[in-house]
Chain A
Amino acid sequence: KNEVEQSPQNLTAQEGEFITINCSYSVGISALHWLQQHPGGGIVSLFMLSSGKKKHGRLIATINIQEKHSSLHITASHPRDSAVYICELIIQGAQKLVFGQGTRLTINP
Chain B
Amino acid sequence: EAQVTQNPRYLITVTGKKLTVTCSQNMNHEYMSWYRQDPGLGLRQIYYSMNVEVTDKGDVPEGYKVSRKEKRNFPLILESPSPNQTSLYFCASWTGTDGYTFGSGTRLTVV
Contacts and interface: CB of A to CB of B under 8 A. Distances in A.
A76 B101 CA distance: 26
Contacts of A33: 99-100
Contacts of B50: 95
A96 B58 contact: yes
Contacts of A27: none
A102 B101 CA distance: 18
B105 interface: yes
Mostly, the A contact residues are strand
A43 B34 CA distance: 13
Contacts of B88: 41
Contacts, number: 50
Given A95-B31, A96-B59, A97-B58, A42 B102 contact: yes
B56 interface: yes
Contacts of B100: 33, 35, 45, 48
A47 B45 contact: no
A46 interface: yes
Contacts of B33: 97
A98 B59 CA distance: 9
A46 B45 CA distance: 19
Given A95-B48, A95-B56, A99-B42, A47 B99 contact: yes
Contacts of B97: 48
Interface residues of A, number: 20
B42 A86 contact: yes
Given A41-B88, A43-B90, A99 B44 contact: yes
A51 B30 CA distance: 23
B67 interface: no
13 contacts: A33-B99, A41-B104, A43-B92, A45-B101, A48-B97, A86-B42, A95-B31, A96-B58, A97-B33, A99-B43, A100-B42, A101-B42, A102-B42
Given A42-B104, A43-B92, A45-B102, 10 more contacts: A33-B100, A41-B107, A45-B99, A48-B98, A48-B99, A48-B100, A88-B43, A96-B45, A96-B59, A100-B42
